[in-house]
Structure 1
């Protein structure tokens, strides 16, 4: 028997490969099918089942393409109503994979169809539990992401309490917990950086499992929830209703376009020009009106947060050789309408004699000197409010990147604004958006708050400034 966690850091998502005696199962695969098919091929195994713990909100699962390519059966837990052929299991139903079995445990709460999958080894011993978004390491799934549910988040939290206490906490302490996500996912609020643990440890140390009553549990898990990214319910609908082939998405998105064809497509299709190069590379030169969201960061999550239309036509400027990666990472969160990329990248645009733009970026030392000399310097900290509340530069306002579009009208197009985030990634995203919307006087602080703090030149506080702009 083999169990392999296939973890993707960008989405903080864990899929699982399970193999026994030439048969394999995949749990919660991402959109791309190749890694799973190749993994099974290496073992000489046939993928028999694709298990889905629930209709995911934070990514588009790869169950449909994987089943189509391998002949595997898609399995959901009780009450799921997918709009495509799948086996909807009964609570307690057993599935045989080689010499082992997978037992379905219906564990509603995160969503009503949520289920966990208990692995019974060759001797029938309860060995591993694949918990999806029901139980994380250090946390439990948030109870406010169900698709078109008539239940309140308090109702769902009550169901989650029952599921945990009646189905999961009754299992042996030595059962290994394999969750669907780790730290960085928006599907919980207190996830550990660890991605596996024993159930016994979770019973002792997971705050949610230590709640003594249902009322206490409901209060614990519903307190402090942030608004989920706008793409979450849209992805959940795609996972329930179905979607197009990822191979076709990649074929369309990796069409190489000359500068002239790229420019024409941008105008004719009203496409978003998305530049996925690094922040400081982008600052030194970019196509006017393009938006920078770098691949080397939480790329998919920020696209999903800031680009509200999943069907938005997208044109890409990428580092050489990373075109398919960009298209695939967009597809993972449901952005299937990438229509091509700039062949030769930004250098080809320059060589063709076309207009370019820049954004000024200064060091933290230079910023500190200017801020000290001018107490009225207009600066926005674009980190999340929780980060700002934890520690920030005295006198600087908070304008979280995720709320930028809603607050843009409050800004003066003729004013010069300084922007910083934690390390320089999000501030350049914000600067590029503002620049594309006609705010031309923007200065980015390279290295962000970490670099500012390191200078030791500006006073910091953990007091929440009353001028926070939300």
Structure 2
């Protein structure tokens, strides 16, 4: 028997490879778009992928179910959703046989109306009964699925459905079941998912705050009272997964463009220069109008917020070694129009005699001195609303980074005056600085270290009621 977890970094997505080696058959649950990892694993263990199962129509990444089905002739199974391709819709209680393994489907709506969970049983000695629960986005470590992402379903109605799924469907299951969710810590599919990628049903019943609700009404109130902002790309990706994503197949290699060809491609009105270098490198020298999303763990989530499929992407990297991972991150979000990478990076651009600009940076000590002197600096906080409510730098205005494009006109910031931008660490605020520059701000400065450095320096934070917010 094989139970193997495949984690997609950045998106914190978890998919599962389940197989009976003696029977030579395998199932893949919630596959990501680039499916080579599953094909290679099946080949390594001498099994054939016969089942591809979607616990729901995903909104945060492009699914590989359709492609995997095409490449293996496996059947795709899912819940009662509206698909644009052939999917066997599992009935509540329906069982799938995988050699000595059994997978029993439970309809568990709440996060999504079509959501299912899978109870895994059998497999051999010591696994005679039910021993694992593949919970999809219904239950995570220390969290439950968000109820506000389904089109046409209010957050309150979704929360009520989720409460029923947790109390009625999961209520009959044993505490000892291993819980294998579709996401880990860092995914926006749950408010505050814990640090463990797997847990047990009994542990969550004891420690998960949502299981402590005494009734449905308090569960709904607790779950919906402080939901984080809904990622803007989720609706687009969910529609793509429902209709059936196009096939990746074998993509031609993305070209490395000379500085001259790169500059010519920038003249396309739909082109966007994506600078994936670290924030300090970006500040030292970058192309005018480029968008900085440094290649860190959260890169794909922010790329999803800020980029759209019609954008024709021209990419600047720190190193050629980052080409594959950046491209994979983008393809997993359905961002396929990648025109090319800048050959020799910013060094090649500068040595070609082409124009570039520097970005502003400042320390928390410099910002504190500006505020003490009543200097002309404007201050912008781009953290999430829940972070903002815990306290902010004095005089700051607030606009969440993911909606800064839309909120910027409402902030009343003067593009001719300097603006200091901060977040939790300086990572997100570097993205915000690049957005401000694209909107014509002359002197936008990233506060390095941001709130972490501000507090470490012993400076006080103000409460949100003291200033207006967008």
- How would you bin the TM-score normalised by the shorter chain? over 0.9
Q: Secondary structure at the match of 1:54?
A: coil
- The corresponding residue for 1:224 is 226
Structure 1: runs of 5 or more not aligned = none
Deviation of 1:124 (Å): 4.1
d(CA) in 2 for partners of 1:407, 1:154: 26
- The corresponding residue for 1:178 is 180
- The corresponding residue for 2:439 is 437
Q: Secondary structure at the match of 2:174?
A: coil
Q: Aligned pair in 2 of structure 1 residues 466, 402: CA closer, same or farther (>3 Å)?
A: farther
Aligned length: 462
- The corresponding residue for 1:90 is 91
Q: How does 1:9-408 map to 2 (within 5 A)?
A: 9-21=9-21, 22-77=24-79, 79-122=80-123, 124-147=128-151, 149=152, 151-247=153-249, 250-251=251-252, 254-268=254-268, 270-307=270-307, 309-319=308-318, 320-374=320-374, 377-408=377-408
Deviation of 1:247 (Å): 3.9
d(CA) in 2 for partners of 1:460, 1:81: 48
d(CA) in 2 for partners of 1:270, 1:383: 28
Q: Secondary structure at the match of 2:414?
A: coil
Q: What do residues 32-83 of structure 1 show as CA deviations (whole Å, max 9, x unaligned)?
A: 1122222222212211211100001111111122222222221102x22211
Q: Secondary structure at the match of 1:322?
A: helix
Q: Aligned pair in 2 of structure 1 residues 190, 446: CA closer, same or farther (>3 Å)?
A: closer
Contact 2:228 2:384 in 1 (8 A): no
Q: Secondary structure at the match of 1:246?
A: coil
Deviation of 1:376 (Å): 5.8
Q: What do residues 426-453 of structure 1 show as CA deviations (whole Å, max 9, x unaligned)?
A: 1110111111221111122112221222
Query: Which moves more between the two structures, 51-60 or 362-371?
Result: 362-371
- The corresponding residue for 1:412 is 414
d(CA) in 2 for partners of 1:366, 1:84: 57
Structure 1 segments of 4 or more deviating over 4 A? Answer: none
d(CA) in 2 for partners of 1:243, 1:258: 32
d(CA) in 2 for partners of 1:324, 1:247: 16
Q: Aligned pair in 2 of structure 1 residues 419, 138: CA closer, same or farther (>3 Å)?
A: same
d(CA) in 2 for partners of 1:25, 1:220: 36
d(CA) in 1 for partners of 2:100, 2:396: 61
Contact 1:10 1:298 in 2 (8 A): yes
d(CA) in 1 for partners of 2:403, 2:159: 27
d(CA) in 1 for partners of 2:464, 2:288: 36
Contact 2:156 2:224 in 1 (8 A): yes
Q: Secondary structure at the match of 1:449?
A: helix
Contact 1:297 1:425 in 2 (8 A): no
Task: Say what the alpha-carbon RMSD is for the aligned residues.
Answer: 1.9
d(CA) in 2 for partners of 1:375, 1:235: 45
Q: Secondary structure at the match of 1:392?
A: coil
Deviation of 1:333 (Å): 1.6
